[in-house]
A and B are shown apart, each in its own frame.
Chain A
């Protein structure tokens, strides 16, 4: 009925090809997401905490809070 013949489509190995593509893709995506999380979230957070506690003095903090008057047992 058609005037020209279509090319024969791929008949075999479809699932194998899909699995191969998706295995590789899933591996790369999960590695990428993990790396992104580590360098965009985890490392800055660790650095922020380290910076905060580098020059932190709990006594000074306590004196400031006492002066602000939030404690009920100590004036």
Chain B
């Protein structure tokens, strides 16, 4: 109950609060398209959006757009910045900023790896059949002795590490 109310509050705040003051559209149906599906959304791999960010302009903003049609050398620095902010949602520095999302991702990856480990442990205890006879210690010792008798890989491999005079592994 309480968490549901908090969730709805967060959704509503997130939907409207993320938009700037100069909302480009006031759609009749609820929220309209959110980024990245909005027409003004740009990213490093798609830098030129279809629509300008602000399409509803106040009177002074329209006057500025009229001034933009003339020579740009007459625009002051603040006016150029204002025109940029009308046209684009964020600068490249803003859109390319880092985030801490990787920590969440790695945390969830490790968490689920650990959970999987628990499942596999349960499987090992309750599902696996008993080990075959060939994996017991005495069988493995006899197997190794036979391999040494056959002189398996005598140049670089197993038999090359066995000292046949002293009957032990070479140091």
**Chain A residues with a Cβ under 8 A of chain B:** 1, 45, 48-49, 52, 61, 64-65, 68-70
Contacts and interface: CB of A to CB of B under 8 A. Distances in A.
Contacts of B155: 48-49, 52
A44 B164 CA distance: 23
Contacts of B150: 65, 70
Contacts of B154: 52
Contacts of B156: 45, 48
A1 B154 CA distance: 77
Interface range for B: under 10
A65 B77 contact: no
B149 A70 contact: yes
Contacts of A69: 149
B151 interface: yes
18 contacts: A1-B77, A45-B156, A48-B155, A48-B156, A49-B155, A52-B154, A52-B155, A61-B151, A64-B151, A64-B164, A65-B149, A65-B150, A65-B151, A68-B149, A69-B149, A70-B146, A70-B149, A70-B150
Given A48-B155, A61-B151, A65-B151, 15 more contacts: A1-B77, A45-B156, A48-B156, A49-B155, A52-B154, A52-B155, A64-B151, A64-B164, A65-B149, A65-B150, A68-B149, A69-B149, A70-B146, A70-B149, A70-B150
Interface in B124-155: 146, 149-151, 154-155
A64 B162 CA distance: 14
A73 to B, nearest CB: 15
B132 to A, nearest CB: 23
Contacts of A65: 149-151
A69 B155 CA distance: 22
